[in-house]
Structure formats: structure tokens, C-alpha cells
């Protein structure tokens, strides 16, 4: 064996890995610029050099943009609306998907395949495509411009049902049979046998559902008409169109970050769980 060749190869590998690292760092920084810029800009005084995009080098930091933005639009109400909508959807979804998932995993019944297929239709046709007729339905139900109207189309979740069914099917049958022998009723079976091992799936579903509905824009935009029901996303877009805002970027970024911050901070803390949850929510 000749020594110099592996040495040279190792050197080449070293340089290669260096280059890849430099490339990755550059790309990662590039990808982070928008959010970093927004964070810095939101803390800069409104009359700073921001109109030239120059926010990085300055040493004044201020909260005035946040206070000003908060005073210009009812962000407190928007927060309440978003939180209520997200929680309502989540709670109702958890009930409906657990019940339906349990039925599909635990029972045999006539037409089971057809009921299942019927529910899966929801996964093939995204709700956003149906906003015009759903708007008509909401008008018909008399709940236009309410938080309920934002939430109600999502009360049943084909994807969640599917996910729970998969998770419940992995519970060994003998555990279920033991539960039945012990005299468990159907809801005790769910609570004591099926649910405990399925908690990670529930959390994964919950995180992606909450993220999705916190961020949703188009449906709330068309179905709300007043600040009493408008969520953060629709409120933000309304805010950006206010006459007095114009091109006050520090103000705009402050408002943008207020809309984003709670979810984003939770994401930063539970990053791994979020990524797992998004992975789950895609892999059907």
C-alpha cells in the first residue's frame, strides 16, 4: 500500500467538506434573510434609514412600532378570534376523528368501504376550491361573519380520520379482546385501549392542524366582514391596506411579526415535534 494516495484523498475530502459547509452556510443565511430582516426592521425607529433598506447598521432599538401598530388596528381582538377558531377546530376535530377512526378500525359493518371512500373524497378536493358554494352554504346557515363560519368546514377531517384509523389498527387485537372481556363499553375501549398508544399521532395531527388554521387566509377573508370575527391573517392584510400605513416598513414588519410570533415561538421551542408532525401530515 502506498501511503501518499490516501493522504491526498483525505485532503481532497477535507476541502470538499469545507466547500460544502461554506455553501450550506451561505444558502442557510440567504434563506433566513427575510425573517431576520423583518425582526430587525420592526425594532428600528420609524424615521430611520429603513426606506433605503438599510436596517442592519444602527444602534437604536425601539418598541414604538409594535405599540403604534397595536393602536392602529384591533390586534387584540384578532388574536382572540384566531385562538378561538384554532382551538374550536382542534377540539371538534379530535372528537370526530377519534370516533370515526375507532369505527373504521374496530368494527366491521355493511358499506364500511363506501363510507370510508366517501369521507376520503375530502382529501381529493381541497376546501379552498369550494369557497364559492361553501360561502353560499354559510349564508344559508345564517352564520356569515362569525368565528363559527371560519371553523365549521373543517370540523370533519378525512385526513385525521385516516391517521387515527391507521394508528388504532396498530393496537394489538388481544388488548382489545381483553378490554371487551373486562366489560369495557365502546368509549372505555377508546379511552383505555386505543387512545394511550395513539397520543403521538394525536399530537402530530394537532400541531399541523393548529399551524394550518392559524395561518389560513382566503376562507376567513371571504367569510368575515367585521373585526369581531376577523382573524390575524385577514386583519394583517387589512392593516397593510390602511391609508395611513403607506410604506412605513418598520410598522408593517411589526404588525407582520405580531401575527406570526406566538405560533413561531412555539415552533422554535418544539421544533422537532413540529417537523415530525409535518412529516406525519404528509405521509399518508
Nearer to another protein, 115 or 203 (CB): 115
State yes or no: residue 40 binds another protein (CB under 8 A). no
Q: Which of 8, 9, 11, 25 binds another protein (CB under 8 A)?
A: 25
Residues in region 106-135 near another protein by CB under 8 A: 106-110, 112, 115, 118-119, 121-122, 124-135
> Residues 191, 195, 197, 200: is their CA dihedral positive or negative?
negative
- What are the distances in angstroms from CA 263 to CA 34, 39, 78? 17, 15, 14
8 A C-beta contact, residue 122 and residue 154: no
Interacting residues of 176 by C-beta distance below 8 A, sequence separation 6+: 106, 189, 193, 194
Q: Which of 1, 3, 5, 28 binds another protein (CB under 8 A)?
A: 28
Residues in region 152-211 near another protein by CB under 8 A: 152-153, 155-158, 161, 173, 186, 211
Residues in region 56-95 near another protein by CB under 8 A: 95
**Measured from the CB of residue 46, what is the shortest distance to another protein in angstroms?**
14
Q: Of 49-57, 59-67, 72-80, 195-203, which segment contacts another protein by CB under 8 A?
A: 49-57
State yes or no: residue 52 binds another protein (CB under 8 A). yes
Q: Of 23-31, 61-69, 73-81, 192-200, which segment contacts another protein by CB under 8 A?
A: 23-31
State yes or no: residue 225 binds another protein (CB under 8 A). no
8 A C-beta contact, residue 276 and residue 204: yes
State yes or no: residue 222 binds another protein (CB under 8 A). yes
Q: Of 3-11, 61-69, 198-206, 276-284, which segment contacts another protein by CB under 8 A?
A: 276-284
Q: Which of 260, 149, 158, 169 is nearest to 205 (CA)?
A: 158
Site string for another protein, 230-259 (x = CB under 8 A): --xx--xx--x------x-x--xx-xxx-x
Rg over alpha carbons for the chain, rounded to the nearest Å, is 25
Alpha-carbon gap, residue 108 to 115, rounded angstroms: 12
CA diameter of the chain: 84
**Measured from the CB of residue 61, what is the shortest distance to another protein in angstroms?**
19
Q: Of 3-11, 18-26, 68-76, 198-206, which segment contacts another protein by CB under 8 A?
A: 18-26
State yes or no: residue 229 binds another protein (CB under 8 A). no
8 A C-beta contact, residue 154 and residue 234: no
Q: Which of 97, 149, 150, 195 binds another protein (CB under 8 A)?
A: 97
Q: Of 59-67, 69-77, 196-204, 229-237, which segment contacts another protein by CB under 8 A?
A: 229-237
Residues in the chain: 284
As a three-state string, the secondary structure of 54-114 is CCCCCCCCCCHHHHHHHHHCCHHHHHHHHHHHHHHHHHHHHHHHHHHHHHHHHCCCCCHHH
Amino acid at each position: 500500500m502506498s501511503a501518499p494516495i490516501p493522504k491526498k484523498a483525505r485532503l481532497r475530502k477535507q476541502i470538499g467538506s469545507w466547500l460544502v459547509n461554506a455553501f450550506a452556510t451561505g444558502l442557510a443565511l440567504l434563506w433566513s434573510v427575510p425573517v431576520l430582516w423583518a425582526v430587525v426592521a420592526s425594532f428600528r425607529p420609524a424615521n430611520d434609514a429603513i426606506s433605503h433598506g438599510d436596517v442592519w447598521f444602527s444602534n437604536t432599538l425601539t418598541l414604538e412600532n409594535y405599540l403604534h401598530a397595536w393602536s392602529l388596528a384591533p390586534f387584540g381582538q384578532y388574536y382572540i378570534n384566531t385562538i378561538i377558531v384554532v382551538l374550536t377546530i382542534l377540539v371538534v376535530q379530535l372528537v370526530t376523528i377519534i370516533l370515526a377512526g375507532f369505527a373504521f378500525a374496530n368494527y366491521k359493518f355493511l358499506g364500511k368501504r363506501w363510507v370510508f371512500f366517501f369521507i376520503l373524497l375530502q382529501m381529493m378536493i381541497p376546501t379552498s376550491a369550494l369557497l364559492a358554494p361553501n360561502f353560499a352554504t354559510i349564508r344559508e346557515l345564517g352564520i356569515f361573519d362569525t368565528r363559527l363560519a371560519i371553523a365549521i368546514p373543517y370540523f370533519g377531517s378525512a385526513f385525521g380520520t385516516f391517521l387515527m384509523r391507521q394508528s388504532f389498527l396498530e393496537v394489538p387485537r388481544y388488548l382489545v379482546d381483553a378490554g371487551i372481556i373486562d366489560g369495557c363499553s365502546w368509549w372505555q375501549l377508546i379511552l383505555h385501549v386505543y387512545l394511550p398508544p395513539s397520543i403521538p399521532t394525536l399530537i402530530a395531527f394537532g400541531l399541523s392542524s393548529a399551524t394550518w388554521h392559524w395561518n389560513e387566509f382566503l376562507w376567513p377573508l371571504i367569510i368575515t366582514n367585521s373585526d369581531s370575527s376577523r382573524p390575524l391573517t385577514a386583519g394583517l392584510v387589512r392593516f397593510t391596506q390602511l391609508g395611513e400605513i403607506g410604506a412605513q416598513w418598520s410598522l408593517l414588519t411589526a404588525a407582520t411579526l405580531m401575527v406570526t410570533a406566538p405560533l413561531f415561538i412555539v415552533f422554535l421551542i418544539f421544533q422537532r415535534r413540529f417537523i415530525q408532525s409535518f412529516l406525519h401530515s404528509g405521509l399518508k
